[in-house]
Amino acid sequence: MAVEKLFKDEATEEKGERARMASFVGAMAIADLVKTTLGPKGMDKILQSTGRGHSVTVTNDGATILKSLHIDNPAAKVLIDISKVQDDEVGDGTTSVVVLAGELLREAEKLVGSKIHPMTIISGFRMAADCARKALLDRVNDNKDDASKFRLDLMRIAKTTLSSKILSQDKEHFAKLAVDAVMRLKGSTNLESIQIIKKAGGSLKDSFLDEGFILDKKIGLGQPKRIENANILVANTAMDTDKVKIYGARVRVDSMAKVAQIEGAEKEKMREKVQKIIGHGINCFVNRQLIYNFPEELFADAGILAIEHADFEGIERLALVTGGEIASTFDNPESVKLGHCKLIEEIMIGEDKLIHFSGVEMGQACTIVLRGASFHVLDEAERSLHDALCVLSQTVNDSRVLLGGGWPEMVMAKAVDELARKTPGKKSHAIEAFSRALIAIPTTIADNAGLDSAELVAQLRAEHHKEDSNAGIDVITGTVGDMSELGISEAFKVKQAVLLSATEAAEMILRVDEIITCAPRRREDRM
């Protein structure tokens, strides 16, 4: 018995087979969970939090679903991580990466069951992943020199990304929005200069892209509603000191008159500050903090539009867009960079008034205004659009494009199969398993559309044995179709990221042979 007591009371360990079983089962369960969201006919999930307000999220985005889960199984956590990384890195393919990793593990489990060592499986997977990547590289399409063709590619990619999301009904419209927005970035992948404003009301079709910048604020009272050739000072400074703050300050005075004097002094200070700000030669002042009515009055007298309490993101973006810098001291006006724009005016969207800056310095910025029936729809629309924007901005940099609809997986599976036939030894089993796992993606796409996946995938495989076929699954008609005619495209970068992350994750989980769970600390011990 002495040997047993290596760990403290409550710590448990699982060895060998049992540990591996636990991690396989957990990972496959996670993969099955998001499996149904894959593809254009994938379903959405409702996530209800148990926290305050029981907020409800309706989503189709693999990463969002997995992020909201609280999970005990260590292997499942690895899969959740890869989907998060996929989301940060390329933005789309979050579901595919988990499904692929899950399938790889499912295959690996069978291999381990037939007495093949995990390390052998891993080296087989490695070879297979390499081979699959090369197979894709041979078949990529690159149109970056021909602008009109490239734009068509981008439109196709956007439509393909959006077709599995809530926006699939208006995917033409949104694909155009996304492509326009990304083309304005001129190759930077910084999506911060694309601002997305969600306004409930109207339908998704009413969403539009605006050249300028929209600030979700109202224009103060008695101030000009419209300014042309604006010079904008963006600031983060306190404009609320013209009254004595009652709390926190102890002032001993002989009479009320003295208090009035102090207030007068404060007012003078404020007036000086405002004079300094006006001295910059501006006609629009945007502040991060409150502006009291006294300084607001002074600004209005000077004919300056003062906007208070602009939220921080808004203000950073505004500074970025108008080419100004955020100032907090105003003693030397020559060192402050002002922002410029051609026209500031108030516009109405739905019920709300917003301030619209057009003709901004940096032509890269734009605002997408999303309209929709409810907040859940808007949130999901924003997530979907964000996916599309991420993929597009990556594609602008790395302009290699593949066909979609299960085509890349079939191409990879075919190449990997050929490799398996050439490879001697036990590794060949692992390589073959890899190709079966790849085929699981088109199978799942077909299953989700309620089609006969076995039949379709067999047809696909036959098609792909002809040279250079473009066959993929056309879920709309439920047959095998030509992907290049249907205009279903995907970005190479996304597929590559899916392939490599899934392989690495599966490899990591395969290496596990022992799970040690540590004992919870007891309360009494702390005393």
**513 tagged catalytic:** no
**Interacting residues of 425 by C-beta distance below 8 A, sequence separation 6+:** none
The active-site residue out of 61, 210, 379, 447 is: 61
Check: CB of residue 158 under 8 Å from CB of residue 174.
yes
DSSP at 520: P
Nearest to 359 by CA among 380, 340, 334: 340
**161 tagged catalytic:** no
Q: Alpha-carbon distance 448 to 440, whole Å?
A: 12
Q: What is the 3-state secondary structure (H, E, C) of 77-145?
A: HHHHHHHHHHHHHCCCCHHHHHHHHHHHHHHHHHHHHCCCCHHHHHHHHHHHHHHHHHHHHHCCEECCC
The active-site residue out of 94, 160, 395, 444 is: 94
Check: CB of residue 486 under 8 Å from CB of residue 475.
no
Q: How many helices (H) and strands (E) does the chain have?
A: 16, 19
Q: Alpha-carbon distance 162 to 156, whole Å?
A: 10
Q: What angle do CA 505, 511, 513 make, to 5 degrees?
A: 130
**387 tagged catalytic:** yes
Q: How many CB atoms lie within 10 A of CB 513?
A: 14
The active-site residue out of 36, 57, 64, 95 is: 95
Structure tokens, 69? 């889960």
For residues 423, 428, 434 and 439, what is the CA-based torsion angle, rounded to 10 degrees? 80
Cα→Cα distances 284→228, 305, 332, 345, 436, Å: 10, 5, 18, 11, 63
**329 tagged catalytic:** no
Q: How many CB atoms lie within 10 A of CB 180?
A: 15
Backbone angles phi, psi at 208, to 5 degrees: -145, 165
Residue-by-residue DSSP string for 158-174: HHHHHTTSGGGGGHHHH
The active-site residue out of 379, 387, 447, 474 is: 387
Within 13 A of 279's CA, how many CA atoms are on the CB side? 14
Q: Alpha-carbon distance 320 to 313, whole Å?
A: 10
- What are the catalytic residues? 61, 94-95, 387
